[in-house]
């Protein structure tokens, strides 16, 4: 069985892309180091999901892992000295830390759920538990202890992302069980939930929200599944004003945005050249260019 697209590494994405045409993932799900000097990404080019790093100019690519696990939830520690990733199996996830040179890989936490992601200060973990159609969000200590449920599981809550100040959570959800996905924001205790994406019906499924470094904007992806089409959008977290980046009318998938620390560029995955690769473009919609090859 051919390896899965890295675009689908969270099962939330897999759920929404189940009918999409598979492409080889040479580079996907990028995340940028705190100093902007490196991009961590995942690739199934070897037949298994593996972690790599590369410089934004496309040089210095290095493979860090050689294990068969499905990996997800990439993140850098605040000091940029380690990369975190999760491996899911048997309804639980192990959170690993590894140095950017591939050394000192170790387990730092285990949780009974999916995609554990650390808070900006590293003191807490946010993860998903329960079935995909009724996801419960959980927050625990950094080692997975003292879990607390912050959503009731009455709907979905996928592809979650901490705000830079650690006070809010953006996530993929929906109000109508049969409706399109939308982006929501809530306080870290589960209160104050509100929808921030407001696209006309038929526009596609909004998902994968990622906060800008200043906490004012969210970069997201909007997928039109039957057209095998996806765009990156930027949404003002306060007003909901949205603008499209990299507009195209081809069956391309521009997905999984990640901000650079200066807020001026966005890394993302795209199959514009056939294989899924890591790309970078400016947040003002200029200068898209391919990084991995």
Question: How many domains does one find in the chain?
Answer: 1
Whether residue 182 contacts residue 206, with contact meaning beta carbons closer than 8 Å, is answered with: yes
pLDDT at 231: 97
pLDDT reading at 15 higher than 60: no
- 161 within domain boundaries: yes
Cβ atoms < 10 Å from Cβ of 140: 19
Q: Do 272 and 266 touch, CB atoms closer than 8 A?
A: no
Range of the domain at 231: 6-290
Where is average pLDDT lowest: 53-57, 153-157, 186-190, 272-276? 153-157
Residue 253 within any structural domain of the chain: yes
Phi, psi of 8 (to 5 degrees): -110, 25
- Tell me, yes or no, whether 1 lies in a domain: no
Domain presence at residue 72? yes
What pLDDT is recorded for position 69?
Answer: 87
Per-residue pLDDT band at 68 (split at 50, 70, 90): confident
In the predicted model, what is the mean pLDDT of the chain?
A: 91
- 270 sits in which H/E element: strand 265-273
- Residue 29: partners with Cβ closer than 8 Å, 6 or more residues away: 6, 7, 9, 41, 42, 72, 74, 256, 269
240: CATH: 2.120.10.30
Does residue 66 form part of some domain?
yes
d(CA 12, CA 202): 20
Note the pTM of the prediction, 2 decimals. Answer: 0.91
For 69, 194, 227, the CA distances from 13, given in Å and listed in that order, are 18, 22, 16
């Amino acid at each position: 069985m051919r390896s899965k697209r890295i675009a689908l590494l969270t099962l939330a994405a897999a759920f929404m892309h189940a009918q999409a045409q598979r492409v080889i993932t040479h580079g996907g799900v990028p995340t940028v180091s705190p100093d902007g000097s490196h991009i961590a990404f995942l690739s199934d080019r070897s037949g298994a999901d593996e972690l790599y790093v590369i410089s934004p100019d496309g040089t210095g690519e290095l493979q860090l892992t050689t294990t068969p696990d499905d990996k997800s939830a990439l993140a850098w520690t605040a000091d940029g000295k380690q990369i975190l990733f999760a491996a899911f199996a048997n309804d639980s996830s192990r959170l690993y830390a590894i140095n950017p040179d591939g050394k000192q890989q170790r387990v730092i936490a285990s949780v009974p759920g999916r995609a554990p992601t650390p808070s900006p200060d590293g003191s807490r973990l946010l993860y998903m538990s329960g079935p995909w159609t009724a996801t419960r969000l959980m927050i625990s200590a950094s080692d997975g202890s003292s879990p607390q449920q912050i959503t009731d599981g009455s709907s979905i809550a996928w592809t979650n992302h901490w705000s830079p100040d650690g006070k809010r959570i953006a996530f993929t959800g929906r109000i109508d069980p049969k409706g399109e996905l939308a982006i929501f924001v809530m306080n870290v205790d589960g209160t104050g939930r509100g929808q921030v994406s407001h696209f006309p019906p038929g526009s596609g499924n909004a998902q994968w929200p990622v906060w800008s470094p200043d906490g004012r904007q969210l970069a997201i992806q909007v997928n039109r599944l039957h057209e095998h089409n996806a765009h990156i959008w930027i949404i003002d977290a306060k007003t909901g004003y949205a603008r499209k980046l990299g507009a195209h009318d081809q069956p391309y998938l521009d997905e999984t945005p990640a901000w650079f620390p200066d807020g001026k560029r966005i890394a993302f995955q795209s199959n514009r050249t056939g294989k899924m690769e890591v790309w970078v473009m400016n947040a003002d919609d200029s200068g898209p260019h391919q990084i991995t090859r």
